Amino acid sequence: MPPRTVRHLGAATVLAATLAATGACAVGPERAAPVGAVAAGSSAAPTATAATASPAPTTPTPPATVPKTLSFGGKTLDGTAFSAAALAGRPVVLWFWAPWCATCASQAWTVAEIAPKYRDTVPIVGVAGLGEQKAMKEFVTEFDLGGTPQLDDRAGAVWRRFRVAEQSTFVVLDRDGKVVHQGFLDGESLTRQVETLARG
CATH code, 191: 3.40.30.10
Q: Note down the domain range covering 128.
A: 90-199
Tell which phi-psi region holds residue 76, choosing left (phi > 0), alpha (psi between -120 and 50) or beta.
Answer: beta
- Asked if the structure places residue 105 within a domain, the reply is yes
Q: How confident is the prediction for the chain on average, in pLDDT? A: 79
CA dist 194 and 115 (Å) reads: 9
**pLDDT on residue 200:** 82
- Asked if the structure places residue 71 within a domain, the reply is no
The alpha carbons of the chain give a radius of gyration, in whole angstroms, of 41
- Asked if the structure places residue 122 within a domain, the reply is yes
Say if residue 19's pLDDT is above 70.
no
Say if residue 115's pLDDT is above 70.
yes
**pLDDT on residue 39:** 37
CA 83-159-162 angle, 5° bins: 85
- Asked if the structure places residue 45 within a domain, the reply is no
In total, how many domains does the chain have? 1
pLDDT tens-place string over residues 33-73: 333 333 333 444 444 444 444 455 554 444 569 999 999 99
Q: With contact defined as beta carbons under 8 Å apart, do 185 and 94 qualify?
A: no
The residues, ordered by sequence, that sit 6+ positions from 173 with a Cβ below 8 Å of its Cβ are 67, 69, 70, 91, 92, 93, 94, 179, 180
- Asked if the structure places residue 41 within a domain, the reply is no
- Asked if the structure places residue 108 within a domain, the reply is yes
The residues, ordered by sequence, that sit 6+ positions from 11 with a Cβ below 8 Å of its Cβ are none
Amino acid type, 150:
Q
**pLDDT on residue 147:** 87
- Asked if the structure places residue 123 within a domain, the reply is yes
**pLDDT on residue 47:** 43
